[in-house]
Chain A
Amino acid sequence: MKFEKKRSSTKQEISTASMPDIIFMLLLFFMVTTTLREVEVLVNYSLPEAEAIEKIENKRLISYIWVGKEAKIQINDSLVKMDEIQNIMYGKRQALPNVIVSLRIDKSTDMGFVTDIQQELRKAYCLRINYSANIKI
């Protein structure tokens, strides 16, 4: 006796119609999470390394100060002088009362210079700071 193989009548294909939707979902996710770099960093710096590192939970609160080699200070988009820091940061603090200042300081900077910046920050009442550092592997 001959058995006839039963074949399903439906086509065996994965429908690709929903593929664009899936891709769009991914796309939207990345678009939302992306923060395109708004500021151009004008100073040359390399961060120190550390182990006991905490993540800053709220990115919106962060305001950056870059300190590069040759003791250049950058806030926002421009290089600033030491005595300008207080005014700029005070303005920032008024706009955002619990601002966290992320200090991105080159690792070969003198501590005296760092302390001067900290003094300015204290005068501007920006008391929450974060020494930016890379994770030591």
Chain B
Amino acid sequence: MIKKKKTPEATIPTSSMADIAFLLLIFFLVATTIDVDSGIGMTLPEFVEDIETVEVPKDRMAALLINETSDVLLDGQPISLFQITATLKPRIQSKIDLPKNKKLIVSIKTDRKTVYNAYISALDQVKEAFFEVRDEYSNSKYGKKFSDLDDEQKTEIKEAVPIIISIAEPEKIK
């Protein structure tokens, strides 16, 4: 009888497993786009057919007008786009202690021909003003930045410094 050759133990070599895993890893590393969606958040008003107009006292409003050449008017005064934050900040701060219905409203109005970029820059400046005021207020109250506060404190600051931005519809070009 012919003796059978003794077969070696049948094992899958695992030494290359790390390499395979590495390859996969590199594929996913390259394919991953951890793109955080960031941007300027807004809430649009509900759509209503007939708009009822509410009179708002003049000192409560900050009206921003941006025209098609990116010139900015703040309450009738021409200012540069980058001054918006600095101009709005004291006005927001002066209204911190006032009741809820007396806080500053920033209204942004554009022309139909205004470039989107200019609008975003202006909106950015306005938001920046609100954020800076929030930060300073929370710093003076709790000694922390707004983003480091807990939820309860956050809502308190949010109530003191609400971000009210109204986007006015652009006028039709004459």
B-facing residues in A28-61 (Cβ within 8 Å) = 30-31, 33-37, 48-56, 59
Residues on the A chain within 8 Å of B119, using CB: 111, 114
Most buried by A among B17, B37, B43, B44: B37
Stretch at the interface among B96-104, B121-129, B137-145: B121-129
Give the shortest distance, in Å, between A3 (CB) and chain B (any CB): 40
Q: Is the interface of B mostly helix, strand, loop or mixed?
A: mixed
**Among A24, A26, A107, A132, which residue has its beta carbon within 8 angstroms of that of B117?**
A107
**Among B40, B112, B130, which residue has its beta carbon within 8 angstroms of that of A50?**
B40
Given contacts A34-B28, A115-B170, contact A131 B123 (CB under 8 A): yes
Stretch at the interface among A5-13, A77-85, A116-124: A116-124
Q: From A100, which residue of chain B is reached at the shortest CB distance?
A: B41
Given contacts A48-B120, A50-B124, contact A55 B38 (CB under 8 A): yes
Given contacts A30-B25, A122-B46, contact A48 B117 (CB under 8 A): yes
Give the shortest distance, in Å, between A104 (CB) and chain B (any CB): 8
Residues on the A chain within 8 Å of B42, using CB: 128-131
Residues on the B chain within 8 Å of A115, using CB: 110, 112, 169-170
Would you call A108 and B115 a contact (CB within 8 A)?
A: yes
Most buried by A among B17, B22, B124, B130: B124
Say yes or no: is B29 at the interface (Cβ < 8 Å to chain A): yes
Q: Chain B residues in contact with chain A, CB under 8 A? A: 14, 17-18, 21-22, 24-25, 28-29, 31-34, 36-47, 110-117, 119-121, 123-125, 127-128, 130-131, 167, 169-170
- Given contact pairs A108-B115, A115-B112, A130-B42, enumerate 18 new A-B contacts (beta carbons under 8 Å): A23-B25, A30-B28, A34-B28, A48-B121, A49-B120, A50-B40, A50-B121, A50-B123, A52-B125, A55-B36, A107-B115, A107-B120, A111-B113, A112-B112, A112-B170, A127-B45, A127-B46, A132-B39
7 nearest CB pairs, A to B: A112-B112, A52-B127, A107-B117, A50-B124, A122-B47, A23-B21, A30-B28
Q: Chain A residues in contact with chain B, CB under 8 A? A: 16, 19-20, 23-24, 26-27, 30-31, 33-37, 48-56, 59, 62, 100, 102-103, 105-112, 114-115, 118-119, 121-123, 125-135
